[in-house]
């Protein structure tokens, strides 16, 4: 990795992310570009920005997901920390969790969870304080772009296409322009609706938890999308399917209620959750 980079920063006062977080994200972004890789912010933080533009200030993301194709060795990560500490006096970050994927599930190579800490000194008293939100670096399989440019819409599109819930399809392509957000689901966000894409289903338990998560944030499930591209629409909480011979996959918890509410479903197949992962990574 090329680590000697002439960094520049475009920091925004009053932005939802603290200055230290902006600096860290912009360092990662510029390291990626200088190493012929790519990086963007996508998911709930970008969604928070869209919501803010709409005057909805109650929505808060739990973390900041930085997607990149830049692979980090332990030494690379230590170098990143040194560069961050040089730019942000009295700040450092700790690595909360690391995931190294050998199977390359979903094309993910690594996940680094970074927690930024601030050192406060009052006289002879030194206090170390956590500064939320954590920053999650998701390293994807490297695919070198044909035409690399700062606003790499192709990479941003690939990233948001990974998401299972429509309102999550929000992305900041250029991390030197943090207030420039692109969304693929503005109408859903405006109407407080969401579509769940079953083609991205990892496990029924994961899907259930994520739907509950965004339901508590105020979004109602309005559509289900299947492999064939067919979409089931829900009106006033009622699921309507007009084609015969459909089968719906569900977990055991909701199987009975599905059977009761969908008269023209021939069968409900119960999926085992033995192989499920409860982790809510990156999405």
Categorize the per-residue pLDDT at 103 as very low, low, confident or very high, splitting at 50, 70 and 90: low
Domain boundary among 133, 155, 185: 185
Q: Is the pLDDT of residue 281 over 90?
A: no
3-state SS class at 98: strand
Shared domain check, 177 and 110:
yes
Question: What is the number of structural domains in the chain?
Answer: 2
Most confident segment among 17-26, 144-153, 241-250, 267-276: 17-26
Question: Does residue 131 fall inside a structural domain?
Answer: yes
Shared domain check, 181 and 68:
yes
Q: What is the pLDDT of residues 21-71, one digit of tens each?
A: 999 999 999 999 999 999 999 999 999 999 988 888 778 889 999 999 999
Domain boundary among 185, 202, 231: 185
The Cα–Cα gap between 138 and 113 comes to: 9
Domain span at residue 168? Answer: 19-185
Token digits of residue 88: 């942000």
Q: Is the pLDDT of residue 259 over 50?
A: no
Shared domain check, 232 and 166:
no
Question: Does residue 57 fall inside a structural domain?
Answer: yes
Q: What does the pLDDT read at residue 237? A: 57
Q: What is the pLDDT of residues 121-175, one digit of tens each?
A: 888 889 999 999 999 999 998 665 555 455 556 888 889 999 999 999 999 999 9
Percent of the chain whose predicted confidence (pLDDT) is above 90: 51
Categorize the per-residue pLDDT at 226 as very low, low, confident or very high, splitting at 50, 70 and 90: confident
Beta bridge partners of 126: 121
Shared domain check, 181 and 199:
no
Question: Does residue 116 fall inside a structural domain?
Answer: yes
Shared domain check, 134 and 64:
yes
Secondary element (H or E) of residue 268: strand 265-270
Shared domain check, 200 and 178:
no
Task: List for the chain the helix, strand, coil content (%; round to 5).
Answer: 30, 30, 40
Q: What does the pLDDT read at residue 105? A: 58
Shared domain check, 178 and 105:
yes
Shared domain check, 170 and 243:
no
Of 254, 241, 243, 217, the C-alpha closest to 44 is 217
CB 23 within 8 A of CB 11: yes
Q: What does the pLDDT read at residue 267? A: 42
Question: Does residue 80 fall inside a structural domain?
Answer: yes
Return the ∠ at Cα 182 (arms to 98 and 80), rounded to 5°.
30
φ/ψ of 46, rounded to 5, equals: -65, -40
Shared domain check, 24 and 128:
yes
Shared domain check, 28 and 161:
yes
Question: Does residue 249 fall inside a structural domain?
Answer: yes
Question: Does residue 246 fall inside a structural domain?
Answer: yes
Torsional class of 43: left (φ above 0), alpha (ψ -120 to 50), beta (otherwise): left
The Cα–Cα gap between 23 and 85 comes to: 10
**Which of 27-31, 212-216, 258-262, 278-282 has the lowest average pLDDT?**
278-282
Q: Is the pLDDT of residue 258 over 80?
A: no
Categorize the per-residue pLDDT at 239 as very low, low, confident or very high, splitting at 50, 70 and 90: low
CB 198 within 8 A of CB 165: no
Question: Does residue 14 fall inside a structural domain?
Answer: no
Report the half-sphere exposure of 109 (CA within 13 A, side-chain side).
12
Question: Does residue 68 fall inside a structural domain?
Answer: yes
Shared domain check, 105 and 240:
no
Q: What does the pLDDT read at residue 152? A: 56
Q: What is the pLDDT of residues 174-207, one digit of tens each?
A: 999 999 999 999 999 999 999 999 888 878 888 8
Q: Higher-confidence residue: 199 or 114?
A: 114
Q: Is the pLDDT of residue 269 over 80?
A: no
């Amino acid at each position: 990795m090329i680590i000697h980079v002439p960094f520049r920063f475009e920091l925004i006062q009053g932005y939802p992310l603290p200055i230290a977080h902006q600096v860290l994200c912009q360092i990662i972004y510029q390291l990626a570009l200088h190493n012929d890789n790519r990086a963007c912010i996508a998911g709930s933080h970008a969604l928070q920005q869209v919501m803010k533009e709409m005057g909805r200030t109650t929505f808060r993301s739990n973390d900041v997901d930085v997607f990149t194709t830049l692979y980090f060795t332990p030494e690379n990560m230590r170098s990143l920390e040194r560069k961050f500490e040089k730019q942000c006096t009295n700040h450092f970050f700790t690595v909360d969790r690391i995931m190294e994927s050998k199977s390359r599930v979903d094309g993910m190579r690594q996940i680094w969870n970074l927690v930024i800490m601030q050192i406060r000194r009052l006289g002879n008293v030194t206090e170390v304080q956590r500064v939320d939100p954590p920053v999650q670096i998701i390293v994807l399989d490297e695919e070198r772009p044909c035409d690399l440019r700062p606003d790499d819409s192709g990479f941003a599109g690939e990233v948001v296409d990974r998401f299972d819930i429509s309102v999550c399809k929000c992305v900041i392509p250029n991390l030197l322009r943090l207030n420039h957000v692109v969304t693929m689901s503005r109408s859903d966000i405006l109407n407080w609706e969401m579509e769940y894409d079953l083609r991205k289903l990892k496990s029924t338990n994961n899907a259930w938890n994520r739907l509950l998560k965004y339901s508590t944030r105020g979004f109602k499930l309005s559509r289900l999308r299947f492999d064939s591209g067919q979409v089931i629409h829900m009106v006033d909480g009622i699921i309507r399917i007009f084609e015969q011979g459909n089968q719906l996959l569900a977990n055991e918890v909701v199987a009975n209620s599905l059977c009761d509410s969908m008269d023209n479903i021939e069968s409900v197949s119960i999926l085992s959750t033995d192989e499920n992962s409860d982790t809510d990574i990156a999405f």
